[in-house]
Structure formats: C-alpha cells, structure tokens
Structure 1
Amino acid sequence: MGDFQQFVTDVDKRLSTMSQGELFVAGDSLDRDSLWLTFLDSFPAGTNPRFRERSAFDCSTCRGFVRNFGTVVEIHDGRIRTVWSGVSAADPVFSVVAAAMDAFVGTLPLSGVFRSTEARYGARTTRSLHDGKVEVWNHLHGPVAKRHRTRDPGAERGAFDAAVQVFQRGLAELTPDALDTVAGLIDDDALYRGAEHRRAMTEFRSLRNQWEQAPDKRAFVFANAMNPAARLRNTVIGTLVQDLSAGIDLEPAVRAFETKVAPQNYQRPTALITPAMVKAAMKTIGELGIEESLQRRFARLSDVSVTNVLWVDNDTQSRMKDGIEGLLMRAATTGAPGARDAKPEEVPVLTFMKDILPGAASIDMWVAGRHQPHLVSLTTGRHPDAPRLFKWDNDFGWSYGGNVTDSIKEKVKRAGGNVTGKLRVSLSWFNHDDLDLHVYEPDGTHIWYREKRNKLDVDMNAGGSFTREPVENVTWAGKVPDGEYRIEVNQYHKRESTGAGFVIETESDGRIEHYRLERAVGTRETVEVGRMTVAGEVITAFRPGPDLVPGNAAKEMWGITTEQFVPVSTVMYSPNFFDDNEVGNRHYLFILKGCANDQPARGIYNEFLRNDLQQHRKVFEVLGDRTKCEPVPDQLSGLGFSSTIRDSVVAKVTMTGGRRRLISIQF
C-alpha cells in the first residue's frame, strides 16, 4: 500500500522549503475539488483498499490540506513548481500519486498570491477507538508560514492582482523604442528632475528584457509584480513613456510631462533629441557622405555665379564721379522727411525686375525700422564640392533676421492663420516661451485665447509641439469697428531666457508696420504694446507702449541706420530660384552696401532639407542651431521680400542716362 507516513514527511518538507519564498495559487475553487478527486483516483489499483465505509486515505483532514495547499505553487528560476514536485520518488505508489497531482496542478493557470488567516491546514495525527483499541492515523498537514498569514487575505490578494495588471499592461504597452528614448533624455539631462527616475527606468527596461526571454511569461509577471519598478506604467515618468508609445511626438509628450512635474518658470536645459536619434541621423549622414555639407558660412559675392546676379552696381566706376554731390545728396535725404514723403510711383516687382532694373546705374533703398524682419543674409557651404543638403541644385541658403526663413506674415500663413482680412495684428517671438496676444476692441470686447471671437486663429507654444518661430494672429475678416484698440502681450509660461523680446506686426489697407520689444518678458508679466486708432477700417494712428520701439524710429542694425536710403550693391533671387530651380516661394534679395549681420546666422533650416533627410528633422533642427555661420565683414546681407506677402519698399533709382526715379516696389 506504500509508505504513507514517508509521503506525508516528504510533502511537509517540500512545503516548508517553498514557504521560505513567495507562494502563489493556481486555478480556482472548482479546480481544488478536482484535485481532491485526482488524489483519490491516482492510486494504482489495489493500493487504496476499502477500510470500513471509506478508502484508507479518504478523510476530511487530508481533504482540507489538499484543497487549501494542493494548488499552492512557487516560481523557481522562472518556472512553476508545485507542492507535489519530486515528492516520494523512492516510493512507487506515492510517486505515482504525487506525479498525477503535480501534472494536474501544472495545467492550471496562475490565479493569485497565497494568503490565509489560518495557522495550518490538516493535522499530523488523529486517534480513534476501534474494538476497544486506540488507533493512530497519519495525515497530510502543514503550517502556514507567518509571511503568508494576514487578517485580510482578500485585500492583499486584490492589491497583488492590481500590481499584476499594471505590470502586464506596462510590458504590453510601453514599447522598447519609447523606453530607450526616455532613458536617453534622462541620460542627456533633458528632462526636469529626470535623474530621479533613472533607477526605475533602468530596472523596468531590465525586467522587460528578461520578460522577453522568459520561458513562462505569466510566471515571470507574478514573480516580479511587487517590484517597485513593475509599476512604472502608473508613475509620472511612465505617462511620458505611454505617450511616446502611443505615437505622440516627442516635444508635446515631454511638455505634458513637464506640466505635471515642473514649475512654471522651468527652462529646459537641452534640446529634445536623444542619443538614438543622433545615432540614426549620423548613420544617414555617413551613408550620404554629407558631413562636410553641414559646415556653413556667410556667402560672398565671389561665390555667386554671374548668371544668378540680376544686377550689380558699377564698382569700377570712380567713387568721386558724383563725390561731393553724392555726399550732399545722402546728407540731404538722411532723416529728411521731404525726400521720403515725396510721392513715389508704384511699380509691381515683376515690372521693376523686367523693365527698370536692367537700365539702372545705381539703386538706393529706403530702409525703415519696420523692415527689420526683412533683414536677410545669404549663406553657403564651406566645402563647395560637398554633396548638397537642400531641395535645390546648389548649396546656397538664406536666413532672415532672428534666424527665420521668412517674414512674420508668411509664418502666420504657414501656421494656418488668416492674413487676408481687412485688419490684422500678429505677434512673433523667438523661443519656447508661451506668449499670449490680447486685443481689446473699442467696446471692450476682449480677444484672447479663451475668447477667440473667431478672430484669434493661431496660438502657438501653448499646447502640442514647441517652436522657436511661434506666432499668434488676430484678423478681422468682417466689419472692423472704428475707435481705439488696446493691445497687450502676456507671458503665460516662461521657459527660456534666450531669444528675448517680441515683434508686433499690424496690417491694414496693405500697409505693414512693426513694433518691437527688445527685452525679455518676465513670468506672468503683461506688456502694454500700444493703442491703435481705426477709422474706416484702416489704422490711422498707433501709439506704442513705453517699452516698445516703433518701426519709424531710426536705429542702428546690421551696420546700417534705418529711416534713410542705403545703396544697393546686388539684386538677386533667393537660391531656390538660381539657375533653373523653381522650388517653393521666390524671395527677392537686395544686398546692401555696408550691411553685415553681426550675429551668427543659421545656415540649415528644416524647410530647406532634401526629402531623404526629413526623417531626421529634430536632429537637423539642433544641428542648424549649433552650426551657425560666424559673422564676416564681406558677407551678402540686405533686405529680402517673399513673393507670397503683400509689402512694399521705396527705392531711389538712377537710370543709365541720369534720370532719377522714386519707386515704390510692390510685392
């Protein structure tokens, strides 16, 4: 019949060994009933004789043990092992019983952690009186280890089940790429207090790698569910990984993270690129052989082919040809309103380029303060033979003042704003700050991001991705009330100290004016931009606030003084229209004598990049910012105007025959 007492001893030892670690339960209550039947039915024929009315091993004490301890398992080296594993190997009868029990429990799914209020299940022995004699019966029995006893098993089992679910969802939903990206941001110190999450990120990534290799993934989850790192998905850093895993772009995902953890005046120390992104971009750069192409500089006139220069002044002409007269004329026009206020003839730019420019002996252009955003520089590569970076078939680019590629109006247009209304007020700034434009109509109606009134149509750096070329835009497409308008700018969220200040652009009746703040806007500060008077849907007056510089104030910029005529040395199209290229918008570039950008200029813009480099836009954004062209005296800089905007500039043109014309070039 087998040595049952040895079987009991072996089970007791096995349970004692298992209880030193965490115990889990497989199956449910029905499975526990089935396990008891398996126990009774697994005895080989003739080894479990009838004793009185019952089988020898059919007793309530053993049944209590089997039901409560029989489906308890441990997880050892990533695999499930039952209380019956390897029991009574020396006894053929109970080896069969133990093997059957082990096999049955091994088919059951893990269902939870083992907890109990009881101190033990079963009893070592019981006694009964039979025919006047006391008989001693041995039973399956075992104590519940102290670590597995609790007053509220349901609560602890519930907490464990919740931890398993969180871990499982984290393993399923948090992608390796997203985890790598966030780990890279932490290593690069690009997350606010990111170092605090380094250990959790490292441990979760390690757990995920082990899970991928685990022979029994469910067992691995149960064995590690109570590890603090397993709850990463439900932590604040986990929400960032979730967003990236769900396909949200890096910058808005990080912004959402920073909203939760960072103070309002937090300034991110580094750009949002990761080592993995850099590695991928450098692989592409290496494969295309364009590393030398990334080295940029200001362009000189000698760099530009004669076929791409539309007009050049006669430098070989003696500078004394109109010596005294030229000096006197320049003195007479400098700051002299009479010369500026003379009624110029309006000429479309295409007519000017076709009919007037070829016969011009000299050109002087009136540079107004409002033209500051039109200051532009031509750039090129340091290595002429390096492969091209851009969409067109040359290595030239251009960069407007403030390191932008186009005007405020064009930026508003690209951002989806309306630039064709009767009246427009636009705000442009140069960093990741969240500035807000506020306009008060004559009747007190407040136009701002909470009350857009169908007039505020662009609100950037407030949500989603950040840009260092942000704009906000208010346009009146319908009736424009007459009266006085008040304009303010509020700093809603200061993030950076670089790129300080902003520009306000107004437009009515085809006239564009600019007003500029040249200092940083403090946290929650409101700046009084000014008050404008509108009559007949046209701006008739603008009184700027105390800290703003009006566009008609003479000032030094880029080596020239505004509100006067400045000689033009060269006229050309933008490089995307050199030779036979016609890519994107055409810009008209008027290179001015003595005009020199005194600040490093971007030589690379994402808008310029050829298509096979677009996938690495974020890396090239940083490259463009960190590989700027250093100022040189003999650069090609001046004023630029896009073909997509309505604007004008006054030029004094001396024709070859000596005739002088005052022309308002209309773009």
Structure 2
Amino acid sequence: MIKGFDSYTVDFTYYIQLINKQFRNVIEKGSPLFRTNAHNLFEAFLLEIPNEYRQLYTCSVCKKFVENYGNIVALSEDGKVEAALWGEFDGLMAPAFRRLKDLVEKSDVVDAFITSKAVLGVQYAGGFNHMHINVPEEIRYTGKIYTDIQMMFEKREDFRMLQQYIEEYPYDVAVDANNILNSEHLYRFEKCLGISNWYMDLHKKLRTNKKDSNNILWYAVATAPPGYCHIKNTMIGTLLDDIKFGLDFDTIANRFAKKMDPLQYQRPQTNPTRGNIEQGEKIVEKLGIKKSFSRRYARLDELNTIWEYNDATETTGKGFFGHIKIKTINKTNESLDIPATKITWKKFEETVLTNASKIEFLVPKHGNFAALLTATHEDAPPIFQWDNVEKRNPFSWYVYTNGSPCTRWNLKHDYCNVTGICYQPSMWYGKYPHQGKSIFLILDSARDVNGTQSNCLFPEMLINDLREIRKTIEAYSKEATLEGVYEASACGYKLEYGKEWNVSFRVTTSTGVCNYILDRWD
C-alpha cells in the first residue's frame, strides 16, 4: 500500500468494518462455516477495481488473507450458500467485493472451517490497516485434545464415510430401521433412536433436494452429535445390515438385544494396551480431569427433584412440651377397600404428584434398585455428556444388570417412604435422548449395603474426548471405589421408559389415602 493516501486509509477501513459486519451477521444466524474450492480470488478482486486505483489496493498482506480465508461460506440446513465475508457492499470497491461473493457462492464446498484463532489475518502492518476478521468467542474451537486442523481432518473423514453410508443403506432400509425403533419393540431402543431419526431426516432432505446434496451432507457433518456419522460402527449399523440382509423381525430383535446387553454395549471386553493407557495419561492431563474420576454417592439435598417429602410434623410450639410432635390423623379409605387405580407415570405426575403430601412405595423383593452418584470434588471438570461448565451437572447412576434383591439395599418387601422423586440426571437441564428416560424414586434409608465393586464410569455416559481411551477408563473404574456409602441418601428404585412396571404406591393427600399401580411411562 502507498503511504500518504488519506482517502484510501479511510475508505479501506470502512470496508474492513463491512467485512467484519458481514461475518458477524452470518455467525448470528447459527450457520456452520465451510471452505469452498474457490481460488485466485485476490486476482479477481483486483480486476474489478478501476485501473487508476488498482495499484493502491495491491497488498501482499491482504492477498494472503483473501487467499486463506476469502473462500469461507456458511450453509443453511437446506444447503443454501452464503459468503461469510463478502456482502452487497457500496462505494468504489463494491464491484470487487460483489465479484468475490459471486465466485465463492458458486464454488463447491470441500471442507469444514474450524479455527481456534481470535483474529484471522493481520490487523495492522507497515503503517496500514489490512483485511482481517475478529472471530467471536462462541465459534472458536477450544478443544484440548485435538487441534483445529485435526478437527477439520476428522470432519473430512466424516463426510467421506457419510457419503458411503448413504449409498450403502438407502432410503427404504433407513425407513424400515426407523419404523422398528420407533415402535419401541427393541431392547434399549432409545440408545439408537436419536441417530436413526437423524439419518432418516437426512435421507428425506437428500431426496427432496438432489441439486444441493453435497451441501446438505456437509451441513449434516458439521452439526451432527459426536459419533452420528460413524453409522457403520454403531448399533444402528447392525440394525441396518440385518434389515438389508432380509432377516425376519424376531431374529433382528434377538440379535439387537444381545448386542445391547449393558455388559456388552460400548463396554470393552479386553484389557487396555500399554499404548491406550499411555494415551489415557496424556488425555487426562490435557483435560485436567484427574479429580473427575473420584466419585461418591449423592445426597437427596443435592438432586434436582420434582417432588420431595416434607416431614413438617406439627408441634404446639408452646410450653415445656412444645417441641413434641403431634400425631397426625389422616382420613383414609382403607375401610372402603377401594381397589388400586392403574395409572401411567405421566398422568400420575400431572394429577396426583402435585397434591401428594406423602408417598409410599411397595418395595419388591427383587428389582431395578439404583443409586445416584456425583463428583467427590466440587471443582472436578465435566466428564459426562450432560455436564458442562455453564450448567454443572456431575451426577450419574448405576443399576445392576437383571436387578438386585431389596435386602442388598437395606430395604424389605413392604411399603417404604419415598423421600424424593427425580428424573435421571441426563434429563435435568437438556435433551440427551440417546441416554433414555427414567424416573428415580428415592427411598428412605436405602443404600447399597456393601457398595458396588466399581466407581461406575460407564463409557456410554462419558464425553466424546474420552472415547478412544474407554478401555483404560473401564479398567480404572473396575479398580476404583465409591466414597460416602454411609452418607448416601439418594438411592432407591429406577423406573425406565419403554418397560412395563406394575409397581404399587400408597399416596396421602389432604383428602385421604389412595392406592395406585403405575404400569408404564405413558
């Protein structure tokens, strides 16, 4: 650039502001960013500038910026392209920027764009301002395990695989798989329902918009939850294969149930290699999550409950005996011998729970008893998919495969006070449908008497950064122990969506006592 050309300095600063404004507008739409194969953009830019000004705008710093970042675009869900930097600007250089916009938007998307930089380009050098972009914090890549370049490479691989799977598992096969899962007849179907719905939706978009199929696939890759593009390597891939090979439903269901067994699904079956352990050390160190592996039993007062028992027994509050609790006399319907009302959980929640002052649960001799857990250290970084630094939720849970006896949980086969009710932690502050749905009934004095021989860090619950070292984590978890077993007050019974329950309750309200049988979710 030529020094002393004041009109240039003011004019070009104005265009730098317009470029940044265009970028912010694109980002605010929530659209992911991509690279196109547009090239020689700076040459095209200069050709649109009047001859008498062209030399003034010939700059090696700006050229590098345009060639490195000028081909960035945003994609909408239906595959429409918008240049991320170049807009319908005005003034002397409007034709040059319009040319860039046109070239970029007519090019093919070839890569995702991910950056950890706060600024793209050089803001000031040689006495002049240059083309640059200030990258908003909300879109900067902040991962600690991989670099932004490595993440872009991973997205390219995801795109390649997704292209392959769209051909390998065509629309009709995807429809059959989605219908089977949505029928809720498969064991632990909820683990695959999210990815199946996503894959089905993708197929529909591709069928209705073949012209922009490449862009639709790229958008799907950029916005897919972790692991969704790896269809072949997931349980949905097993289901799609079985349907494609023409197996009957019973065979499909049996094979699916076997592979979804909690002792098999995402659980390593062999010891970790030396290399996996060494990689685990590096990842744990990079993420700073050593404290997160220390777990303890949770307490009722820590939970996000939807109902709690309030033992506010009345006293006179007067005189020498004012502190003694008064016997509460409730109206009961026992003499009428009214049979129990069969009801779903959703109706129970809507019509009974809000008026219940006391709930008693008939403890079965053997069943789905469970414990809620949390981090031992309050400052332990998040390691669960539903936990994040903005909204902390370090809670998890465990149950025993095929259930356990009530005696193991310090309970007996009789009515027991319910001290609290909550949804499973993954449902507290967001939607994680692949984790399933369930309700926890917190029972008075319930605790795992001997404690479990593990600290229950299950791979299917953990963040994606830990996926590659799940064998090492599994081995660690088997050797670790849970703290606070005697302080536990968040243990009880787990009612899971998709199963028949037929569990009995006795509910006290201001009008009396009623008996209920909860048979299913809804």
Structure with higher helix content? 2
Structure with higher strand content? 1
TM over 0.5: no
User: Which structure would you say has the larger Rg?
Assistant: 1
- Give TM-score, length-normalised by structure 2: 0.42
